[in-house]
Amino acid sequence: MSNMTRNVLFLLIVLALGAAGVTLLQRVHAESRNRQVGIALDYNRVQELAMMRGVPTAEALRRLKEAGATHVAIREDSLTDLIEAKKVGVVPQKGRVLMLLSPDVRDRVMAQLKARMPGGKPLPTGDGMSYENEQAADSMKLIGMGYSEESVRDVRVAGLKVIARPVAEMALTKEAISGSLDAVQAIGADLVVFAGIQVYGMYDLIKWSAEELERRQVRFGYVEMAKQFGDDRLSAALKGHVIRTHAIAQAEMPKLSPQRALDRYRQAVRERNVRLCYFRPYDQGADDPLQVACDDVKSMAGDLRDASYSVGDPHVYQDVSVPTALLAVMLIGTGAATILLFQLFFAIPAGLAWGLIALDVFLSLSGVFVARGMAQSLGALGAAIVFPTWAICRMQWREPGGRLSLGRALGAFVVMSLVSLAGGLLAAGCLSDLAHMMQIAAFRGVKFAQVIPLGVVLVVFVARSMRSYDEIRTEMGSNLPEAPALWAGIVEAATGVVRYWHVAIMVVALAAAALMLMRSGNVTPVPPSGLEMKVRAVLDHTLGVRPRSKEILFGHPAMIVALAFLLAGRRKWLWAAMVAGTVGQVSLVNSCGHIHTPLLLQLVRIGNGLWLGIVVAVVLWVIGGIGVRWWSGRTART
């Protein structure tokens, strides 16, 4: 490949980074403008606390508002609830069933029955409905019947806003959904957080439900980490204009300390674009549980204000999208980096390189117009894989006998990390639209982006450590393609004698890789230990933004030490150290792929991981140097 071709490839990468920068600035602007967070209380839980203290529910709500609460969520009454409260009577009568309604719920229940079960006939007395099917009462037990007037009155007296919690299980027709939304608007609510296991519409009516919510200007509270059937499709139909909500399930609360629960809400707001905290006050066995709840709400509100958020009615994010032209430029730049990666191993001729550039441009332009969503995902995946792999594999062996130098290793590490970060920013640029920010759409290539660079680095550096690699490389010369020497090294490694300790190392390595994959993401099958959670909390409070443990304690120190030995020509077990160090580079890039986390916070997290990783590496270097000198002196004396 000629210097001119190489310069064109680097120019394309620079242009792609510029396009990513423009896209990311738009995202940062949207993230910085939406800083208002709501604190919502569960009405039934507050009612319980009020009963424990012997005070009216409205008074308990008033005290919680003074502490910082902004909203109260009221669950829609079901037919069963009203029957148990003696507000509805069910009377079987000669092959039909009569529903007799108490005067204080008559109007709202009649409206819901007509919308959701239109086969009934009003009774001549006007105090109920008649259904020909005797089983009608049983089939309607889950149907929502509007909201308690008393509950709504308590909330309004306290000066709080109402969040409606409609029951959507039996809202299966347009008329039923309209009737449910009529009930929502009748209580003055403009935000819904669905109760139960599903949202409006389910399948066929999702798009219609979204249009109806938008027409009525009712916002949808999308509860993260608590899957409801249809919630992702409804959010997509709303084009990401949702309020991300964090709630701790009632069954999970006993497992968490109050402080840990408050930390979860704070982290959800700061790190995952959550703008509504749905809080169920704890029952901690205190003499005054209502006061404890007020203290918790006050602490939550204070934490939010200390983090430069305001407490109030949450807003949906403004539209954020990746402009088509900029996406095409980013895809072209990712393709250019891929060509440079292959150039490392195959020494691509100039003519073929120009052909590959033309193909890169053609595929990138075709992708953004023919399959935009797939092009975004593939572009992000390519950037997340290619840049860290290229940054590491370009580090060639040095002649043996060199002096170990921590300073040179740190310089090489900084350059390597900047190249990896460039890939992370390109990946983030490809995905920085509102759907990914709200986590409605997800970066599907996270696992591949973690595994593939590790695999490539393992194969390349194991091959480079083989004797046959050196022989062919010496015979061919360093200016010719490296691929034949790599192949010879791979063959030698694959045909070598396998010993028990080789198997043991591979089992440990595979277990570590599996653990890393399982630990990725917000919800993992292998949760952090109690000790790790305490360390995380300390780092969060000390540094403001906690770096990733695998970067500061493992990946970055391993890479710095590995680079020191590589630059000095020390090869023994170097391949293992390079693979361990790759974990840190992959983690750095993976951080940028969390589009639901504000970009500036991610950059601070990456920066904290880098400088702390360097500090740990320097400490290990000093301790190792002291240990080597002590051992050398001891050996000399004996």
Tens of pLDDT, residues 290-310: 899 999 999 999 999 998 999
Backbone angles phi, psi at 488, to 5 degrees: -60, -40
The pLDDT tens digits for 123-141 are 888 888 888 776 666 667 7
Rounded to an integer, what is the distance from CA 229 to the centroid of its chain?
19
Mean pLDDT, rounded, for 425-431: 95
Kindly give, in sequence order, each residue whose CB lies less than 8 Å from that of residue 307, ignoring residues fewer than 6 positions away. 266, 269, 270
Rounded to an integer, what is the distance from CA 282 to the centroid of its chain?
27
DSSP helix, strand, coil percent of the chain (3-state; round to 5) = 65, 10, 30
Q: Residue 73: its pLDDT value, please?
A: 96
DSSP E strand boundaries for 298-343: 310-311
Count of H helices and E strands in the chain?
26, 12
Instruction: Please list the residues that pair with 73 across neighbouring strands.
Output: 42, 163
Closest CA to 386 of 463, 448, 462: 448
Closest CA to 109 of 180, 160, 159: 180
pLDDT band at 183; cut points 50, 70, 90: very high
Contact in structure between 222 and 438 (CB atoms under 8 Å): yes
The pLDDT tens digits for 574-588 are 888 899 999 999 999
Contact in structure between 619 and 552 (CB atoms under 8 Å): no
Q: Residue 118: its pLDDT value, please?
A: 80
Examine the pLDDT at 8 and tell me if it is beyond 60.
yes
Q: Residue 542: its pLDDT value, please?
A: 76
Burial of 409: CB neighbours in 10 Å, binned 0-12, 13-18, 19+: buried
Q: Residue 498: its pLDDT value, please?
A: 60
Residue type, 542: T
Q: Which residue has the tokens 């968490």?
A: 256
Which H or E run contains 94? none
Q: Are strands 88-93 and 96-101 parallel, antiparallel or unpaired?
A: antiparallel
pTM: 0.85
Closest CA to 176 of 87, 113, 250: 113
Mean pLDDT, rounded, for 244-267: 85
pLDDT band at 16; cut points 50, 70, 90: very high
**pLDDT greater at residue 235 or residue 474:** 235
Examine the pLDDT at 386 and tell me if it is beyond 90.
yes
